[in-house]
Every structure is written in C-alpha cells, then in structure tokens.
Structure 1
Amino acid sequence: MKVTSIIIAFILLIIVWLYLDFHLGRRKHLRIVRNQATPILYGNFDIFPHGKELFADYFNEIKHARLHIHILFYIVKNDHFSQEFYSLLKTKAKEGVEVRLLVDRLGSHKVNKKIANELRTAGVQLAFSNRIKLPYLFYSMQVRNHRKISIIDGKIGYLGGFNIGKEYIDQDPKLSPWRDYHLKITGESVPFLQAEFLIDWKEYASEAIMDDSTYILKQPKGHASHQFVPTEAGLLEKKYLELIQHADQTIMIGTPYFIPSRQLLKGLLDALKRGVSITIVVPYTTDHMLVQEASYRYLRSLLQAGAQVYQYKKGFYHAKSIVIDDKICDIGTANFDQRSLFLNKEINCYFHDPVFVERFKDVLQKDILDSRPLTLTDLNKPNLFRSFKEVIAGAVSLFL
C-alpha cells in the first residue's frame, strides 16, 4: 500500500511539473515573441511539387554558389541522400564559399557527432537550433524550428515543405511518391529571407555576425506580389483566422495534419454558414501515429456542415497551402495543426498576385483529382480501435 501511494504521488508530481513547465515556458515565450511580417514585395517564383526535380535544381544552384550558402532545415538525416547533401556542402566550403547550416536539434537528431565534426573540419559552420534547455525542459522540447529556407549568394531563395532525407526523393516505399510544395525565389524579397535566416542564426550559433550588409544584397523587383510572415507562439492562429474571416466565396486548404484550434474550427464553421465553399485535402496514408485520428473529430464537424474533404491517394501528401477566394494563396512550412499554430517556428509566403494564385490552383486541382472524397459514412463506421485512438489523439493533439 505504501509503495502504491509513493508511485501515485510520484506520477502526480510529474504531471504537476509538466503542467507548470509548459505553461510558464509558454508565458515567457509569449513575452518575447515579435511580429516580423514583411511589407508587400515582388519576386519571381517556381513551384516544385516533386522532390527529385526540386533537389536536382537545388543542388545545381548550390554547386554554382560563389559567395555564401545559408541553409535552415527542420530535418536532415543520415541516409545516402543526406550524405550527398553533406558532401556537397563540404566541397563548397573547401572551395572557399562560406557555408552555414542550421538544423533543429530534435528534428535533425540523426546529425551525430561524427557528421558534425566532418562538416566543421571541412569548413562548414554548423549550429543546432532550439536545444532543450533549463529552466523549462518540457516546453523547450516542444518548441521546434520547423522553417525550411535556403539562400544562395543572397540572390536565390528556397522555402517550403521538403527536408533532407530519402523519403523526400521517393525512396521510402510506404510514403512514395512524396507530394509537397517548395518555392524557388528570386527578386527583391530574397534579402528579407536572408535577414530571417540571420536572426535565427544569431540566436543559436556561437558565432557573432557583425555586419549583416555583407549578406543582405539589394535585388531587382520581380512580378508576383507577396509577403513573408514568420510566426511562433500563436501568431499563426491570428493570421489564419484573419484569412478565414475575410473569405467571401471559397477556402481551399491542403495539409498533412488537420488539427485546428477551437478558434479556427469555429471560423471555418462560421464561413460555411455564410455560404463559403470549403475544400480540404489531407493524406490517405499517414506518416505519424495518431495524427489522422486526431483530425477526424474536426473533419466530422466540417463535413456535417457542408465542407468537402479529399484524401490524397497517389503517395504521401505533405503539402501546406491555403487559397482564399482566388485572391490570396499561402505556401510555406506551417501545417494546419496546433503544433504549427502554437509551438513551432514557421515561415509562410502569402501571394496576392492573381496570376500566381491561378497558377497554383492548377497544382492543387491536380492533387484533388488524385484524391478520394472522405465522407461522414466513412468516419462514422463502427470501429472500436479507431475510436480508442481518437480519444488518445484528442488528449495529446497539441503535441502531435
């Protein structure tokens, strides 16, 4: 009896500690968060929905770099494709190009000491973002740097959903082909992307950069009007809610994980009530435990209210996008889930250019054609195991 009481007391102590750690850490984070949205800018863009084409272009641009290469990824692995990436960076560093690589401490946990030492010995400057640290260990474990941006010579930028690993070039049998959206950017907005990288680099790297002007090079204007919006600690929820509330006709959402906040779910249901058509594209195949089950209660509510939901079947759907009224298009690193809304550092690109929006809609329509409709009948079929998983997923949805 005494042992049981001790165990129960210990478990309760852990629960209290986790609660206090998370909420005090979040409160501190909210005090220091800053809104860094850029003004409306003009640039030129290519969209890459397939990893093989993206990385052929990406590696080619890196090979031709002459001044500096600045890269931030959430995930970099230790497979043959990642090794090819490392080799390319080491080669450029040995040529005298300044190479900085910033990776998330947990997302890129496979970047081990051996890899880190080899990169640094070759001249690559490597840093890990969002380390787990005191006093809020649990909270700092949850806040990840989910941004994926690259800037080459201050003239070419990349931003989107792809990371570095074999699955992203269709070499994981379960998840192939991998469907995602990644942007290649030129024009006057590239220096703003560069500035965002330098903010993160200064925060996490031991190296002090004294003169940003060396890297932030003025570029000519492009054609597509857009805006970069970095977010963290709840800023993304406000941005998405603003988009949804201003929709008059259509909302189209593409996301691998659909776990909205209460505010966003209410915003979507209110939009349906005022006659807005809502289409949501999610994966048929999942890559993480419980994320699909976590989405079902939200999708049920929206289907019942008249939304259309499609499950992408031609591989794994990891793309992140929102289109509002054919007027605004969002492509970036953020998922439509509570982790991206409240915990992760993200960066999205919001397009206001009607030509680009129409161009992107063609890509999204192709994905819908490669999907199957999800119905209330599908979700309401009796399934005890799925129902159990939905209960568990609902309890931990913020951390999925």
Structure 2
Amino acid sequence: MIGYFLFFISLLQVIFIGTVILLENRPPGKTITWLFILALLPLLGTVFYVVFGRKTQGPLFYGKHIPDKPLEKIVRQQQTGIKPINMPATSSAGLDSKLASLFLNSGLAPLTLHNRAEILLNGREKFKALFNALEEATHHIHLSYYIFKDDEIGEDVIKILSRKVAEGVEVRAIFDGMGSLSISEKFIKKMRKAGIQAEWFFPIRFPYLTSRLNLRYHRKLVVVDGRIGFMGGLNIGDEYLSRDSKLGFWRDTHLKLEGQAVHTLQSVFLNDWYFVTHQEFKGPCYFPETTVSQNLPIQILASGPDSKWPSILQSFFSTITMAKQSVYIETPYFIPDESLIMALKTAALSGLDVRLIIQGIPEHKLTYLAMNSYIEELLKAGVKIYKYMKGTLHAKILIIDNHLACAGSANTDLRSFFLDFEISAFMFDQVLNEHLRNNFEADLKESTQVNLKEFQGRSVMVRFKESCARLFSSLL
C-alpha cells in the first residue's frame, strides 16, 4: 500500500515539475533533456532541477531592487533622448547610437559622457591604485567581491578599512556566499567588530539548498566617496598578486573610473546592498557632482538572473555582428551559446580579423575540457585562437574595431551570460581601445596559436572527455 502511495506521489511530482518545464518554453533540446532526467530519476531529478535547472532570466527577485531607484529614472529620461540625430557627436569616441540604445534598453545602462578611465593590468597595479583611493576616502567606501580571502592582501585591505571607520568613514562590504566561502567566521566578526558593515550575498546554509546555490555574485567593484570606482576581473586574494606557486603569474585587467560612470557603479552597489539588507541610501553625499570634464562615453551594464534580458550576451552579440574590421576577445573561460558561435563564425567568414585568447594553463579542468569542444568549428571558419601560456589568464576583454572596448567581470561563457550577477563597462574611445589592443597583442606573444590540423589529431578519448564536459556547459 505504501509503495502505491509513493508511486502516486512521484507521478504527481513528475507531472507538476514536467508541466513547469514545458511552460518555460526553452529550446526543445533543453526541455527534452530535463524531462528525460525527471522521468528517469523523479526525486533526484526534481532536486537537480530546483538547484540547477530553473529558468533564470527574468524578474526572479521581486524584492531585490530599490523601489523607483534613481538609475531607472535616468534610464527612462535617456530612453526618450537617445536618437541618431541628437546623439552627442564625437568622431574620436566612435559613439554608435544603436549600440548605446541597446545598452540602455537591455542593460539599463545610462550613457555617461564625462569620465576618466585607467587600465590596470595586474594585481600590483590594481592594489596600488585601490589602496591610494581607500586612504583618501572621507565619507564612504563601498566594495563587493566574489572572492575575498583572509590572507595577507585581505588583511591589508581590512586594516585600511578599519582605520577609515575609526576616522568616521562609512564602510560597507558584500561578499558572495560561495566564492568567499573560505573566509572564517572569526574574520567576519573581526570586520564587524571594527565597524565594517559586512554582508553575505546568497550565503550557503546547509541543508537549505535552493536554486540560489547556482546563482553567484561575480561582480568585483569598489566605490570611494561616489567619485572613484574600480571594477574588473581581480578579486581580493594573494593569488591575484601572483603569490600562488600553483597558479603562477596572474594575468588580469581592472579599471579605475572617475566621473559620471561612477554614479552607475554606485547605483549598482546600493541596489545590491538593498537586496541583502533592505537598507536604502541616497542623496548627494553618495552621488556628488563630478568635476571631470574629459569626454569619454561609458555605459556600464549590470546583468544577472534578476535582469529582464541577458544584456551582456546581447551586447557581445550585437557588437560582434556590427564590427567592420576586427573582433578581439580575451577570456579565461570560453563556453558560448549558439548565437555567439554563429556571430563569430560569420564575422570570420566575412573577412574580419577575429582573434580569441583563452587559458592555455587550465585553472579548472572540467571547464577547460568543455572549452576545447568549441574550438574546432571556430578554427574551420577562420577564427584565430590562441592559448595563453605565461601563467593564469583571467582577463575579460572585448575589443571591436578601433573605437569600442569592453572590460569587466563577465567571462564569455554561459554562466556569466545567464546565471551570475556580472558587471561590464563598454567604452567608446580610440585611445582606450588602442591601449587594450596593445595589451592584447602583448598577450599574443605569450600565447601559442592553435593549429587546426594538429588540434584535429586529438585522441578519441580526449574528444570523448571534451564532449562529456560540454554537457555541463550551462553549469560551469
């Protein structure tokens, strides 16, 4: 009797979850896969679906956003103002009204005109600039990181923050519950005792595992007094200063921003802070008038599972398809969706110079295997692919022609496009473009180009491993 009852419950469960999966209207292949898993393993399949399979794009977190937040007000104002005829004209910036409108409508990224940007190429440059900015703070310091470690550099950061709190500076910090899992409770208590307001974003609490376990806060940003901002690929940890012998030299890219774009960073942080604490902060002390007069158009996109659109993916796709001369991508993890593969192949087949630098020394073996499964079809289309061999590549860069560049926390992979909370800056400027292009070309010299004929000589076992790893692409 109990057996019949359990069978009936399992049947209802399969029917209910199966109906939910069908109503999500995903691509047929994904829908069939999840239905197959559910039918084969009803209980385990349900758990897998709740944690890893729920559709992530859309308004999942209704309480995450500040009601009528200032960023959306600016976006609404600009949505009626960005037109090809009245777009700020500057030939040196190469500003494109279609792209600017896409970033605005898809990513809620206001167009900011008066900015300064400095490219920081490694941990030494990033932490030197960051420490200088932190030391000069007079009102507030806001920082959020995917990974924050209680090692030597982490202790150095905490010492500065503690000293600034003692001087009367407000300090707020957000750490991802998975990425910063190594932080000891003692370390967090030490921060809070010093007056640092530290909060977790989606903390890991066993046994309460939900779909949030697979949605991570991957942003790395700092805002000082609403005037200076930092964002990019570098977390807080000794390995980002190339102090980890296993990882070796750490190649990354970070940005130091001043001007109107810092207000966008501030809005993103305060919105995230509101989500984890329900505390709202606003006013001129957090959004001071900028004194920067330099003309450097920047739009900052913050995307994630709470976004209406996969804005960073859409931005990558659109910029690649609109390119006229070249497309350069540098990313540690390359696991694209079909639209991005098609865009890259089409660009290469159209005669554009399409180059991709990826990790040559794998940081995560499964991800590396999955990444290799995408290489052959791109090589056949004429995409030039290079593997960085000097150390661990972690930079996330997109360079289009000679006027547009993007840097931020987002990798060129499905996790960054659909699952994680990311942030990327699109900069319309020839000088910055040339700077990043020169860095890209320097990295080419430290890389090995992948040869199609040699790559096709991989053993059947290696190909099998790559194909199996590819099955987990959406989770890596």
Q: Distance in 2 between matches of 1:109 and 1:397?
A: 23
Decide which of 197, 212, 219 is 1:140's aligned counterpart: 212
Q: Distance in 2 between matches of 1:327 and 1:53?
A: 25
CA shift in 2, pair 1:365/1:110, >3 Å: same
Q: Distance in 1 between matches of 2:175 and 2:360?
A: 29
CA shift in 2, pair 1:354/1:92, >3 Å: same
CA shift, 1:210, in A, is 4.5
Q: Which moved more, 1:27-36 or 1:305-314?
A: 27-36
Specify the code of the residue in structure 2 equivalent to 1:131.
Answer: P
Q: Which moved more, 1:120-129 or 1:191-200?
A: 191-200
Q: Which runs of 5+ in 2 are unaligned?
A: 11-37, 66-105
CA shift in 2, pair 1:393/1:182, >3 Å: same
Give yes or no for contact 1:131–1:140 (8 Å, CA) kept in 2.
no
Decide which of 286, 289, 294 is 1:222's aligned counterpart: 294
Q: Distance in 1 between matches of 2:190 and 2:50?
A: 40
Partner of 1:280: 356
CA shift, 1:353, in A, is 1.1
Give yes or no for contact 1:128–1:205 (8 Å, CA) kept in 2.
no
Q: Which moved more, 1:166-175 or 1:34-43?
A: 34-43
Q: How does 1:151-190 map to 2 (within 5 A)?
A: 151-190=223-262
TM-score, scaled to structure 2: 0.78
Decide which of 44, 48, 55 is 1:18's aligned counterpart: 48
Q: How does 1:113-128 map to 2 (within 5 A)?
A: 113-128=185-200
Partner of 1:63: 135
CA shift, 1:138, in A, is 4.1
CA shift, 1:56, in A, is 1.8
CA shift, 1:121, in A, is 0.7
CA shift in 2, pair 1:398/1:24, >3 Å: closer
Q: Distance in 1 between matches of 2:470 and 2:258?
A: 42
The yes-or-no answer on 1:211 pairing with 2:282 is yes
Decide which of 218, 234, 237 is 2:313's aligned counterpart: 237
The yes-or-no answer on 1:53 pairing with 2:125 is yes
Which deviations, in whole Å up to 9, do the C-alpha atoms of 1:304-333 show, x marking residues without a partner? 111111111111110001111112111111
The yes-or-no answer on 1:329 pairing with 2:401 is no
Specify the code of the residue in structure 2 equivalent to 1:343.
Answer: L
Specify the code of the residue in structure 2 equivalent to 1:209.
Answer: E
Q: Distance in 2 between matches of 1:230 and 1:275?
A: 32
Specify the code of the residue in structure 2 equivalent to 1:254.
Answer: E
User: Secondary structure of 1:303's partner?
Assistant: helix
Q: How does 1:306-317 map to 2 (within 5 A)?
A: 306-317=382-393
Partner of 1:259: 335
Task: Tell me how large the CA RMSD over aligned residues is.
Answer: 2.6
Q: Distance in 1 between matches of 2:217 and 2:51?
A: 19
Q: Which runs of 5+ in 1 are unaligned?
A: none
CA shift, 1:222, in A, is 2.7
Decide which of 143, 167, 175 is 1:103's aligned counterpart: 175
Asked which structure has the greater CA Rg, the reply is 2
Q: Distance in 1 between matches of 2:42 and 2:442?
A: 51
Q: Distance in 1 between matches of 2:368 and 2:283?
A: 43
Give yes or no for contact 1:236–1:342 (8 Å, CA) kept in 2.
no
User: Secondary structure of 1:290's partner?
Assistant: helix
Partner of 2:365: 289
TM-score, scaled to structure 1: 0.92
Give yes or no for contact 2:51–2:214 (8 Å, CA) kept in 1.
no
Specify the code of the residue in structure 2 equivalent to 1:328.
Answer: L
CA shift, 1:178, in A, is 0.5
Give yes or no for contact 2:344–2:383 (8 Å, CA) kept in 1.
no
Decide which of 376, 379, 402 is 1:300's aligned counterpart: 376
CA shift, 1:24, in A, is 4.1
Q: Which moved more, 1:24-33 or 1:386-395?
A: 24-33
CA shift, 1:392, in A, is 2.5
CA shift, 1:102, in A, is 0.8
Give yes or no for contact 1:25–1:140 (8 Å, CA) kept in 2.
no
CA shift, 1:78, in A, is 2.3
The yes-or-no answer on 1:350 pairing with 2:426 is yes
Which deviations, in whole Å up to 9, do the C-alpha atoms of 1:330-387 show, x marking residues without a partner? 1111000000011111111111111221122111111111111112234222335533
User: Secondary structure of 1:71's partner?
Assistant: strand
> How many residues are matched?
395
Q: Which moved more, 1:378-387 or 1:235-244?
A: 378-387
CA shift, 1:122, in A, is 0.5
Q: Distance in 2 between matches of 1:235 and 1:143?
A: 16
User: Secondary structure of 2:363's partner?
Assistant: coil
Specify the code of the residue in structure 1 equivalent to 2:380.
Answer: Q
Give yes or no for contact 1:191–1:218 (8 Å, CA) kept in 2.
no
Specify the code of the residue in structure 2 equivalent to 1:237.
Answer: L
Which deviations, in whole Å up to 9, do the C-alpha atoms of 1:62-111 show, x marking residues without a partner? 12211111001110012222222222222221222111111111111122
Q: Distance in 2 between matches of 1:237 and 1:248?
A: 19
CA shift in 2, pair 1:363/1:19, >3 Å: same
Give yes or no for contact 1:119–1:125 (8 Å, CA) kept in 2.
yes
Q: Distance in 2 between matches of 1:184 and 1:257?
A: 24
Which deviations, in whole Å up to 9, do the C-alpha atoms of 1:205-251 show, x marking residues without a partner? 25x23434331112123332221111123222211111111112211
